[in-house]
Structure 1
Amino acid sequence: MCERLKKKLVKRVIATPGDNLLITQGNVFINGKLIEENYINKDTYTYGNVNIVIPLNYIFVMGDNRMNSRDSRDKNIGIINMNNIEGKIIIKIYESNNIFY
């Protein structure tokens, strides 16, 4: 749960404690390496300019729908204290032509 919003969010963990995160010109770099994000749509633009070293006990999260996601790039949310994590998604179900896989 994000204490600042008082609501639960489901987001992807992008950076963990000690990581140097850089978001610039739509690209996401962790510790100087461009990360490959096959899980987001190729036409998706990752907005924002971020340059931060993630502090101990915190994570940086982003939604997969980068152009319409309230996540750590939002100043009202910011980095998330790991004590506020309530769970982990381990399976994701997609629907395609009424067939689930």
Structure 2
Amino acid sequence: MNSNNLSTEHVASKEQNGPGVPDQPGKSWGAELWDWVKTIVIAFVIMMLLNLFVFNLSMVKGQSMQPTLVERDRLFVNKIVYDFGTPSRSDVIVLRDPSEGVEKKDFLVKRIVGLPGDTVEVRDHHLFVNGEQQAETYTDTEVQDPDFGPITLEADHYFVMGDNRHEGKSKDSRVFGSVTSSEIVGRAEFIFWPFSEIKKL
């Protein structure tokens, strides 16, 4: 009984394939390679588009944001967040350097400390916004640079400073003035490298 069943199954299988029909050959190595190349190119194009319009991976250069950010920290920058809202106080942002001269850089990383309509002033080694001294828990020292302001911000103007308040360590709105939303590239969301320093900003 069992032998007949096995024989019948074998014959049926052969009949399904049809007489004289060879097994389907696998893809050639050239076709396999082309599939891989297409996949890699598509993934690269998608990443380039995302990097151009949605997010950016940036590396910190310089000391102006210490102790929050240090040299060579890698940041994930959200480039569309301000398409759906406006910048907020204490946001860490990447902006195009509005300054001129030989020390001009392509981009800067700073913190927003003043919003449109605010009056910003540095006095007696402290930051004041609208006459109130700010509790800046992200710094490790009081402001060591000379007093600044007061200055009242116009519509769509933001006052940015580096977290490093040691003298001469941050080129920011005290040097190049307030910045507009058009100069802001995006908001730095978190440090993603080194792994030991991963944290939300």
Normalising by the smaller structure, the TM-score range is: 0.7 to 0.9
**Does 2:170 match 1:73?**
no
**Does 2:174 match 1:57?**
no
Structure scoring higher RCO (CA < 8 A, sep ≥ 6) equals: 1
CA deviations on 1:59-96 (whole Å, 9 max, x unpaired) are 0100011220010111xx2111221101101113687x
**Does 2:124 match 1:8?**
no
* Cα offset, 1:31, TM superposition: 1.2
**Does 2:146 match 1:45?**
no
| CA distance in structure 2 between the partners assigned to 1:45 and 1:94 by the alignment | 29
- TM-score (normalised: structure 1): 0.81
| CA distance in structure 1 between the partners assigned to 2:98 and 2:126 by the alignment | 28
Gaps (5+ residues) in structure 1? Answer: none
* Cα offset, 1:99, TM superposition: 3.4
Q: Note the 1:25-44 alignment, pairs <5 A.
A: 25-41=124-140, 43-44=141-142
Q: Which of the residues 174, 181, 189 maps onto 1:90?
A: 189
SS of equivalent residue, structure 1 residue 22? strand
SS of equivalent residue, structure 2 residue 174? coil
Gaps (5+ residues) in structure 2? Answer: 1-95
Identity among equivalent pairs (%): 29
Figure out how many residues of one structure are paired with residues of the other and give that number.
96
RMSD: 2.1
Contact 1:15 1:61 in 2 (8 A): yes
| CA distance in structure 1 between the partners assigned to 2:115 and 2:187 by the alignment | 15
Flag the structure with higher helix content. 2
| CA distance in structure 1 between the partners assigned to 2:187 and 2:123 by the alignment | 28
CA deviations on 1:1-37 (whole Å, 9 max, x unpaired) are 0233452100000101000112111111111211100
Following TM superposition, where does structure 1 have runs of at least 4 consecutive aligned residues deviating by more than 4 angstroms?
A: none
- TM-score (normalised: structure 2): 0.43
